Each structure stands twice: as C-alpha cells, then as structure tokens.
A and B are shown apart, each in its own frame.
Chain A
C-alpha cells in the first residue's frame, strides 16, 4: 500500500492506518484517477501506448479507461485541438463530473505547436482549465506518465469541501510548479553528450 501521501500515516500496529477524512479522500483520489478514453490525434497513440504492458499506467491507479465522460475523472487532451472539434471537446468536458482534471498532452494541445494554421486552436487552455502540461511532439509514454504522476501529487494536495454543509466551500489547488526550473540544476550537470554514431 502506498501510504506516503501527506496526512496518511502507517501506525505501529501493522496494517492500521490513521488519517483525517479529508486527507484519506485526497489520497484515494490520487490513486484512482480514471482517464477518459478520448484522443484527438498522434498523441493519443502514445497515450494508448502508456496503457500497454511496457509502460502500464495501472501502476499509478489509472488503469480503468472510461468511454463515457460521465464516469471519467481525467481528460487527457491528447493531440491537436481542431476548430471543428473544439465545441465537442468543451461539451465533453462539461459532461464530466467534479472532481475532474485536465492533462494537456503534446505541443499542439498546449500552444498549437507546429500547426499555426487556420483550422487549429492555438492551445486548449483558451477554453478549458488545464492542470498539467506535458510537452513533446508527441510526448513519449514516459513523459505522459510523468505528467500523470505530477497530477497525482497535485490531486493529493488539493483541498476540497467534505460536503456542501461542512467547512469552507470551494477547491483549493496548489500552485503549478515549473518542471523546467525544478530540473535545471540536474540538467546543467549533463556536460557530455553521447555521440549519435553508436548505440
């Protein structure tokens, strides 16, 4: 059992876990993010690859792919957001139940990418709230999984009201960290590049 999340602690009595109810709910949400089986273009193939054996997003609690937006927690906008498709994307997002999250997968969904062209919306965040951006064209399945793990961390730290009667209302989300900044010291250590002539 992965009980490392904030607020959920193993006791000294073996399998007994102690937590506040809000933390336990956040922790369960983190490990049961069900993606919506929805893809727009090339990125979807890499997203589907992440479900298969070599990558296997079941390891992070996301193995249940839902065909209906009403049963899904996560919309992965995997691919180019076309002008003709945009109203449908919004329509499907609106059909998803709270709590719901959006991963924007790939350069096209993030900014239009290499398609600065009449039929492409320059970034899905012009009409949807995005939680995690994954870059790449298309991002490798590893990159997508990293995005999913990042989302899981954000979900675990989210504060949501326990009911519409108890406690403060509204969702408190943590700030979105920039991975580029976080990774910079590590990347700066890389000074020797492998030659492309060998394997």
Chain B
C-alpha cells in the first residue's frame, strides 16, 4: 500500500508532528496532536495531490485497558477520523491521543459539515467533549441517561443494571424531558410577521419507517427547518461486540441493516479475515456474492414498495412483497432463515448450497426481469410519481460528498463510486456489471438508481449461476470458525484446535482493520480493534443511514411537509442502521 499521504503530511507539518502506525488493513494511519488536527484535516480536504472531500467517519477508542499498543503514543481515549478520497481511491485515518478521564478536543464541524452528528455520538458514547460544537447534546441515549456506554467502566448488560421499572409518573417525567424546545436549537418561535408552527413528526409515524422523530418548524406550509431526533432504536450493537466472541457476533451484524441480511455479515467477516490473514476459497466467494446480491434485491424491493406507498401508490408494496417472498424462498432453501440468516462464517459460509439451488435461482432471475419491466411501466413512467419525486430533495454531488453520502444516494447525485467496482472485495473483480448513476440528485434519481441496481444484481447472480466454481465452501485456515471437523478424530492438534474454536472461539491476533463494503443503502464499514483476545476490543460500525438522515434538514428546507415524506422515502434508511 502506498503510504504517500503520510509522507505528504510529514513534509507539510514536519516529521515530528506525524507518527505513522502500521495497521492490518493497510489504510495509512497517522497520529497527530489535537492542536494540529483541524489544520491537518483542512489540508487533506483540499490536498493538491488528491483531495479527501469526504469525512467518512469519526469514532473513538477507550484505550485505558488495552494491552497491545506497540508503536502507538500513550493515550486514554483516542479519537479516530476516517477520510475518503475518490481521486486517490484511498482512505486515511487520523488519530488523536487524549489523556484524562473526561478529555476534550476541538470540534471540526467548521471543516467538515457532517462532523456534527459524529462528534455528538462520540460525546454521548465516550464522554469526550468537543469544544466549539454547535449542539453538544446527547444523540443516541435518552436525556435522562447517566454515563457514557462505550466507556469500559459502563456496564454492558441490562441485567447487570438492575430490573427496569417505569411507573406512569416516570413515563410522564421522561416524556417531558423529551419535549422539544426550539431555543435549544437556536430557533425562533416567531418571525417578524407571524408565529412559526412546530409540527412533531414521529417517533411513531408510518412515514418515518420506524422509531425516528423529526420536529419541523413551519411557516405556513413551508418547512423553515427540521430537527431530527434519533436514538430511539439504539441497541448497543457496538458494545455487544466487546462481549461476544468473534464468531458469535455474526448474528448481531444481520440486525444492523435488518433488511439487508447477509450484506451485513460481509464487511464484518472480511474485517475479521483481514485481521486473521485468512483467504477464502473461490466457491465460498461466489456463494457469498450470490447471496449478497439476492439480499440487495430483497432490500431494494422493500425500499421501492414502501417509497411508492409513502407517496400514495398503494398497490406496488403488495406486488413487491410478493417478489420478496420469492427471493426468500431461495434464502430459506439455502440458509434455513429469512431476514436474519447469519450465514457467513469467518473463512467462508455456514454450509454448501443444497442440490437444486440453481433451478430456483434461474427461475427467480427470469421472473424478476419481467417484474422489473412491469414496474418501469407502472411506477417509473407514471406521471403522478414523477410529479411527487422529480426536483424534490435535490442534492448536488459536492453536497453529497461533504455530508458523507454513499451508495445509491451518492450515485443518484452523479458520483460514480461503488466499492464493488472501485475496490473490488471478496471476489467482485470476477464479475461484469455496470455502476448506474443519475444526474440530478433528486428523489426520482435515487429511486431510478435503485431500480437499475436490481437489474445489475440480477446480472451478477446470473454470472454466479453460470460459473459457480467447485471446491470447499470454507477455508481450512486454523482460525476459520467453526473449524473443519474431518480430521479431528485423527490427530490431537486438530482436535485441540477444534475444541478451542468451538468453545472459546478463535483468538484473533492483535491489530486494527476496517473493511468497507457496498451495502444496499450505502457503505457499511466495520472497524475492528483486536487486543489479541477471543472478543473484539472495540467494534465500530459505520453505517450509511446515519450519514443520510443527517442530511434531511438540508434537503427539506423550503419545501412542504408532503415533500419531507417523499425525501424520507427516497433515502432508503433503516432504523437499526441509523442508531445501531
């Protein structure tokens, strides 16, 4: 891996100011001081040798109990900034070491607009203060919460914290704490001419697709501003990673983007395989890709159906859920599960394909092609649909990059960036497919990209069907889990390895790795830190919905409430992906 960007930083800011850290994934990683941070990010954002226009993620690590920190400066809490460059097709990780129990660091919201929510999340989860942040409030935990869950001293289990009790009075008190006060957000209650109306939307509303709340500030029909409130679906998935073995965490990944099934397993197992140095046999690669693409269609069908239902076209959701059931027939035959099959394994997949799978898949592809053509006629060419979607929620390519949009959202705004194509992973380099893009970045374009992606997924599935390689479905690397059983009764070494692998789970060598894949909604990334144990030291899940919902206020200002519904429908988010 070219570490050119680190040399560039050392030339610019001095050799002593930049400390490089080798990582398992080869992403250039540099430690800088908190004083230099803003300058470094500002430089990288417009670097003449290839800009990093996107702040992809901000997260933190509680380092206080970590053992293996060879070559890293002393730190109690580390804040990690992950930037993405399309020009270089490369990422860079900037780390800042902080000391003390409740440290603080300067906010970078003035450099990257989307740092806002990420910094709030780090404050909420770790208790690290960001000086100069415009809204330093909790984002995921409720306002009455005490403590910061991802700190090592915070309990993980609910059962460690005493039974949950809530009387009607408690509930009323909690509800009053969640009441919206415009002043907290620097909003006025009235303009010079008249009062604004504050309309509460959610957390229980059919158009929010789950438990998510928006408070809209209205001037008549027009939306002046929107404040999203998230965290109602926070399920502690990252803390869970510190408590489950590397293998038993796989089912939790299914439930992140819960419409995407194995698409979630993909980045996680690839990240663990990067840490462990496992290579996956070809058959396993193609099986994984085939199942991932089937799930991409399943997820896009739900998006397509519910989006059209949101704007009032009721029949499509019934048609598309019927198609989805056909796809689930395949999923059920192959994995035994439906929405959450948890079917990928460290080193391969759970089992081989059943005999007769090819007929099922072939029939499904033939059926789906025809259905998609029908939907073109009934939705995409429908002038009522166009009237509701065209020109609504327009996002330019530059805005999309600035706010960290990825996946179909980014491609809808005209940026041709697909991880499967730009950085082929897990065997995608073996396949022929196009990356659809659109020009205007409005709601209609986002839908059109999704529809075309289903065609491309079918193309990939057909190639899997034609060229499914023979061979093992799982690696025989000693860390592949569960370990292969054939030879366990023949020699003691294999028996011991098998016993440890299925009882404690694999011990992954210390190190750090991020793996990013193209999910159905955008980039899924797992940033795993191993301290050489049977469990992860830190699991960071970077999800697309979090970035996309942060853009809603920007997208809906100046429009009306029905447009807000269209915008939400067009985004393709899912609540567990938003709050984790």
Could you say which of B206, B333, B351 contacts A67, with CB atoms under 8 Å apart? B206
CB distance from B180 to the nearest CB of A (A): 14
Complex A-B: 23 CB contacts under 8 Å: A46-B339, A48-B321, A53-B318, A82-B232, A82-B234, A83-B145, A85-B203, A86-B166, A86-B174, A87-B178, A88-B211, A88-B232, A94-B168, A116-B158, A117-B156, A118-B149, A118-B154, A119-B234, A119-B236, A120-B158, A120-B236, A121-B158, A199-B355
One of A88, A94, A120, A138 near B204 (C-beta < 8 A):
A88
What CA separation (Å) do A137 and B235 show in the bound complex?
15
A122 — which chain B residues lie within 8 A by C-beta?
Answer: 158-159, 163-164
By a CB distance below 8 angstroms, the chain A residues around B231 are 84
A94 to B172, CA, bound (A): 12
Stretch at the interface among B181-189, B251-259, B502-510: B251-259
Docked Cα-Cα span, A87 to B204, in Å, equals: 12
CB pair B161–A118 under 8 Å, yes or no, is yes
A199-B356 in contact (CB<8A): yes
Interface string of A45-59 (1 = CB under 8 A from B): 110110011100000
With CB as the reference atom, state the residue of chain A lying closest to B213. A88
Looking at the assembled complex, report how far the CB atom of A144 sits from the nearest CB atom of chain B, in whole angstroms: 12
The stretch of A5-13, A18-26, A34-42, A182-190 that contacts the partner chain: A34-42
Contacts of A49 in B (CB 8 A): 321, 324-325
Instruction: Please give me the residue from chain B that is nearest to A112 by CB atom.
Output: B158
Q: A53-B322, A137-B340 in contact; A118/B236 too (CB < 8 A)?
A: yes
Q: A198: CB under 8 A from chain B? A: yes
Pair B258/A45 contact, Cβ less than 8 Å: yes
With A117-B240, A118-B239 in contact, do A42 and B355 touch (Cβ < 8 Å)? no
Instruction: Let me know if B352 is at the binding interface, CB within 8 A.
Output: yes
Min Cβ gap A47→B in Å is 12
Interface residue A163 (Cβ < 8 Å from any Cβ of B)? no
Q: Which residues of B contact A126 (CB under 8 A)?
A: 163-166
> What residues of B have a CB within 8 angstroms of the CB of A41 in the complex?
210-211, 233, 235, 255, 258, 575-576
Interface residues of B (CB under 8 A from A): 140-142, 145, 149, 154-159, 161, 163-166, 168, 170-172, 174-175, 178, 203-206, 210-211, 231-236, 239-240, 251-252, 255, 258-259, 302, 317-318, 321-322, 324-325, 333, 336, 338-340, 351-352, 354-357, 360, 575-576
With a CB–CB cut-off of 8 A, which chain A residues contact B157? 116-118
B149 touches A119 (CB 8 A): yes
Alpha-carbon distance between A127 and B169 when the two chains are bound, in angstroms: 12
Across the interface, which residues of B come within 8 angstroms of A170, CB to CB?
none
Task: Tell me the residues in window 60-98 of chain A with beta carbons closer than 8 Å to chain B beta carbons.
Answer: 67, 80, 82-88, 90-92, 94
How distant is the Cα of A129 from the Cα of B120 in the complex, in angstroms?
36
Tell me the dominant secondary structure on chain A's binding face: loop
Given A94-B168, A117-B240, 20 new contacts (CB under 8 A): A40-B210, A45-B259, A45-B339, A49-B321, A52-B318, A52-B322, A53-B321, A54-B322, A67-B206, A82-B211, A82-B233, A85-B211, A85-B233, A86-B166, A115-B236, A119-B158, A119-B235, A121-B158, A122-B163, A122-B164
Contacting residues, chain B, for A44 (C-beta < 8 A): 210
CA A83 – CA B149 in complex, angstroms? 13
Interface of chain B, main secondary structure: loop
Chain A residue contacts of B354, Cβ below 8 A? 196-199
| CB atoms of A42 and B340 under 8 A apart | yes
Contact of A88 among B203, B259, B351, B575 (CB under 8 A): B203
B140 to chain A, nearest CB (A): 8
CB pair A140 B338 closer than 8 Å: yes
Identity of the chain A residue whose Cβ is nearest the Cβ of B171 in the assembled complex: A87
Contact call B339/A88, Cβ cutoff below 8 A = no
Asked whether, in the complex, the Cβ of B232 is within 8 Å of the Cβ of A84, the reply is yes
Asked whether A42 and B255 contact (CB < 8 A) given A83-B164, A199-B355, the answer is yes
Residues of A within 8 A of B333 (CB): 199
**B340→A118 contact, CB < 8 A:** no
Bound CA span A116–B174, Å: 22
**A114 contacts chain B at the CB level, 8 A cutoff:** yes
5 tightest CB-CB pairs across the interface, nearest first?
A117-B236, A87-B171, A52-B321, A42-B258, A87-B174
Chain B hits for A140, CB < 8 A: 338
CA distance A44 to B212 in the complex (A): 14
Q: A45-B258, A85-B203, A120-B158 are in contact. Are A115 and B321 (CB under 8 A)?
A: no
Bound state CA distance, A117 and B360, in angstroms? Answer: 39
